[in-house]
Amino acid sequence: MMLMQDSALRQFLRALGPELTGKYGAPKAILMASAHWLTPGPVVGAAAQLETIYDFYGFPAPTYEITYTPPGDPDLAAEAAGLLAEAGIEADHDNARGLDHGGWVPLKYMYPGADIPVAQVSIQPHFGPAHHLALGAALESLRAQNILVIGSGNLTHNLGDMDRRRGDGAPAAWAEEFASWVADALHKKRLSELVDYSAHAPHAMRAHPTDEHFLPLYFALGAGGAAGEAERIHQSTTGGAVCNDCYLFN
């Protein structure tokens, strides 16, 4: 609904793109892992031109009329696949897939010109956090080429507990406790606990009944250098149950 309604998250994303460009220059390209591309094994998106995928259902009609069609980056996809192979992770190519809403919705506000090439890496929920940490770590060297690596998901994602009447109001107590645990674990670099978060984090199963929306965090953490600093740069909540915390790694 960020496409139709203003929110703290939308305002943050609008400011984030220019802020990153001011600090580091415009990205040469963007490599993104989204919670909305799930595959049995790793796949890199290698389409030359990205179409808008409307992979959401039951939303107002105007949301299906908004487009975001940046160029793809087949060369980046090939380089990413090569780096994964060097790390012992074989990845397939998809030369046709467009950009899912986990990708294009935030990018539409960060880089509204849709002029920065984008490639995606898929998520494999059945392989868990350690696998996605390794996926990101294999791609860390891309950052030296001025490539922005993004993990797009949610810090908590329990749609069954959402109350849309709460809007951007305060999170439910359980969601706040989970988000605070993650922040502390990242700050103190408790990587083993983070990887086994379901056994250590409070309300882990309530925060993520399924964890595909949490796994992009590990991808970004790995790409940022797991031993580096994790800076929480945004906090907001949708409907009390979906925390939109954003982190900048290293």
The pLDDT tens digits along the chain (250 residues) read 889 999 999 999 999 999 999 999 999 999 999 999 999 999 999 999 999 999 999 999 999 999 999 999 999 999 999 999 999 999 999 999 999 999 999 999 999 999 999 999 999 999 999 999 999 999 999 999 999 999 999 999 998 888 777 767 789 999 999 999 999 999 999 999 999 999 999 999 999 999 999 999 999 999 998 677 899 999 999 999 999 999 999 8
Cα separation, 118 vs 46, in Å, equals 9
Query: What integer pLDDT is reported at residue 160 of this predicted model?
Result: 84
Q: Please give the CATH superfamily to which domain 8-249 belongs.
A: LigB-like (3.40.830.10)
The stretches of the chain forming alpha helices (DSSP H) are 8-24, 74-86, 101-110, 128-138, 173-187, 191-195, 197-200, 204-207, 215-223
Query: What integer pLDDT is reported at residue 162 of this predicted model?
Result: 81
Query: What integer pLDDT is reported at residue 213 of this predicted model?
Result: 97
The residue ranges of every structural domain in the chain are 8-249
The reply to whether the predicted model has a pTM over 0.85 is: yes
Query: What integer pLDDT is reported at residue 167 of this predicted model?
Result: 67
Query: What integer pLDDT is reported at residue 36 of this predicted model?
Result: 97
Cα separation, 201 vs 232, in Å, equals 18
Residue 36 to residues 25, 190, 193: CA-CA distances in angstroms? Answer: 28, 27, 25
| Backbone dihedral region for residue 203 (phi beyond 0: left; psi -120 to 50: alpha; all else: beta) | left
**DSSP 8-state symbol, 161:** G
Query: What integer pLDDT is reported at residue 250 of this predicted model?
Result: 82
